[in-house]
């Protein structure tokens, strides 16, 4: 009896410490190719809607800021790269699906994860192999020599097992195999960071436009996605894990037929995001963009993005703390005026940095000069900067957030 009490106490102590140990964060993002937001809103695909009940659904956009230096075509590979680098085409340099000269000096999320914490387990499940070999640039010296811990792709190159037919049924079959493998690996191994890419919806869009075939392809992939959602739910029940899932699309489609995309019309730019996040901030409700997903996932995973990478990110997190957004800069003579939206009421400050070079483009270091510290709640700041440069990069930042904007035309 004497021993019994300490033992009971020990059990109690263990259960208390288990309850208090922080959950391991995990993140998985999915791109469903080429589905405009209005189609999702009309169809209300059951799995997407179910997931959004735990977090949210929002309209979002791709294509950069229209008519500015970072406008980017609403084409697939540029769209995927917007997401995985958290930057627009003027930085990542992918303008079409040929991916001729991607600029790897803007790190993708897998490189950020692998370089900041090599123990993180990374995985890609994809109907298009170029996502891993060209966009992530797995194994390439210039892309940081990173190796993913797991990948499932290359099926579209196997024309024996997946003979290419005109109706793209083989793509539907590959999507299904990709989802099934992702669900299996999530269930069994629970990778820390995963990307699932699925293509069939875009093929149906190109072939049939706004049509039953297109809508059915969305409902059919939505049904498949249940497997991944169930795998995540099971992981959370079984292990002390906190999963973030983010599902989005790479572009919309043209309004006339629904067959095309690539331009800057509202419907081609109009995307959407579904997530289960319990930690959404105000920015989620304000039509976020595809480049906001990277900092959101990093916030969830607790990844501290290297400073020189963070300086160049074009997104604002919609998960976690939000201090400011929508940085804009104008210049009149030597006077530069910055404006932003503030979400803080206290006296917290942001630091303002400027540089007149763009050396990171070639993998070199830009020397940013600190020009001041300003209360975030002031919403704007003006300063004089004597320089005969025609180009400036401006970064505002705090320990938890950073934003940047360009002024003038970047040197070639
Ligand atoms: Zn696409």
Neighbour count for residue 398 (Cβ, 10 Å): 17
Q: Which residues of 68-81 are buried (b: 16+ CB within 10 A; e: fewer)?
A: eebbbbbbbbbbbb
CA of 205 to the centre of ligand 1 (A): 10
Residues 6 or more apart whose CB falls under 8 angstroms from that of 189 comprise 121, 150
CA dist., res. 264 & res. 149, Å (int): 37
Q: What was the pLDDT predicted at 10?
A: 47
CA of 109 to the centre of ligand 1 (A): 20
Mapped onto helix, strand or coil, the DSSP state of residue 83 is helix
Q: Do 88 and 141 contact (CB within 8 A), yes or no?
A: no
Q: What was the pLDDT predicted at 96?
A: 98
Cα Dmax for the chain: 85
Q: What was the pLDDT predicted at 389?
A: 87
391 forms bridges with which residues in the sheet?
Answer: 408
CA dist., res. 36 & res. 251, Å (int): 7
In degrees, to the nearest 5, what angle opens at C-alpha 325 toward C-alphas 274 and 61? 40
CA of 90 to the centre of ligand 1 (A): 19
pLDDT tens, residue by residue, 248-300? 999 999 999 999 999 999 999 999 999 999 999 999 999 999 999 999 999 99
Q: What was the pLDDT predicted at 18?
A: 55
CA of 173 to the centre of ligand 1 (A): 18
CA of 261 to the centre of ligand 1 (A): 8
Q: Whose CA is closest to 185, among 212, 134, 215, 148?
A: 148
Q: What was the pLDDT predicted at 2?
A: 46
Q: Do 328 and 340 contact (CB within 8 A), yes or no?
A: yes
CA dist., res. 338 & res. 236, Å (int): 43
pLDDT tens, residue by residue, 216-249? 999 999 999 999 999 999 999 999 999 999 999 9
Q: Do 99 and 73 contact (CB within 8 A), yes or no?
A: no
Q: Do 377 and 344 contact (CB within 8 A), yes or no?
A: yes
Q: What was the pLDDT predicted at 126?
A: 98
Mapped onto helix, strand or coil, the DSSP state of residue 229 is helix
CA of 129 to the centre of ligand 1 (A): 14
Q: Whose CA is closest to 277, among 80, 14, 53?
A: 53
CA of 15 to the centre of ligand 1 (A): 48
Where the chain has pLDDT below 50, the residues are 1-5, 7, 9-11, 13-14
Cα distance between the two ends of the chain: 81
CA dist., res. 17 & res. 29, Å (int): 31
CA of 252 to the centre of ligand 1 (A): 8
CA of 253 to the centre of ligand 1 (A): 9
Q: What was the pLDDT predicted at 409?
A: 83
CA of 260 to the centre of ligand 1 (A): 10
- β 391-397/349-355 pair status: antiparallel
Neighbour count for residue 161 (Cβ, 10 Å): 11
Burial class (CB in 10 A: 0-12, 13-18, 19+), 156: middle
CA of 251 to the centre of ligand 1 (A): 6
Neighbour count for residue 247 (Cβ, 10 Å): 27
CA dist., res. 46 & res. 360, Å (int): 44
CA of 75 to the centre of ligand 1 (A): 6
Q: Whose CA is closest to 389, among 351, 358, 352?
A: 358
CA dist., res. 390 & res. 404, Å (int): 17
CA dist., res. 387 & res. 182, Å (int): 52
């Amino acid at each position: 009896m004497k021993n019994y009490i300490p033992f009971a106490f020990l059990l109690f102590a263990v259960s208390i410490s288990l309850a208090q140990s922080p959950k391991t964060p995990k993140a998985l993002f999915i791109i469903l190719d080429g589905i405009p937001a209005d189609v999702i809103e009309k169809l209300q695909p059951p799995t997407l809607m179910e997931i959004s009940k735990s977090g949210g659904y929002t309209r979002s956009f791709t294509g950069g800021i229209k008519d500015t230096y970072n406008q980017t075509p609403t084409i697939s590979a540029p769209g995927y790269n917007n997401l995985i680098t958290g930057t627009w085409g003027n930085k990542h340099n992918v303008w079409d699906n040929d991916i001729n000269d991607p600029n790897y000096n803007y790190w993708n999320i897998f490189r950020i994860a692998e370089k900041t914490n090599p123990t993180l387990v990374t995985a890609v499940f994809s109907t298009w192999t170029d996502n891993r070999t060209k966009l992530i640039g797995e194994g390439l010296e210039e892309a940081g020599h990173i190796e993913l811990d797991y990948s499932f792709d290359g099926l579209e190159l196997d024309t024996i097992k997946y003979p290419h037919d005109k109706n793209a049924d083989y793509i539907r079959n590959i999507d299904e195999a990709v989802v099934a493998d992702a669900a299996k690996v999530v269930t069994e191994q629970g990778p820390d960071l995963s990307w699932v890419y699925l293509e069939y919806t875009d093929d149906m869009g190109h072939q049939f436009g706004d049509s039953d075939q297109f809508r059915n392809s969305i409902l059919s992939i939505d049904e498949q996605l249940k497997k991944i959602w169930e795998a995540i739910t099971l992981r959370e029940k079984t292990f002390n894990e906190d999963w973030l899932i983010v599902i989005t699309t790479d572009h919309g489609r043209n309004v006339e037929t629904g067959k095309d995309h690539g331009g800057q019309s509202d419907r081609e730019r109009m995307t959407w995001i579904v997530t289960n996040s319990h930690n959404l901030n105000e920015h989620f409700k304000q039509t976020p963009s595809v480049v906001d997903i990277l900092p959101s996932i990093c916030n969830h995973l607790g990844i501290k993005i290297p400073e020189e990478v963070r300086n160049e990110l074009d997104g604002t997190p919609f998960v976690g703390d939000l201090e400011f957004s929508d940085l804009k800069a104008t210049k009149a003579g030597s006077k530069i005026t910055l404006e932003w939206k503030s979400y803080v009421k206290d006296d917290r400050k942001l630091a303002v940095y400027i540089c007149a070079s763009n050396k990171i483009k070639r993998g070199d270091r830009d020397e940013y000069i600190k020009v001041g510290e300003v209360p975030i709640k002031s919403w704007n700041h003006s300063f004089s900067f004597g320089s005969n440069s025609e180009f400036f990069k401006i970064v505002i930042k705090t320990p938890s957030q950073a934003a940047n904007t360009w002024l003038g035309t970047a040197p070639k």
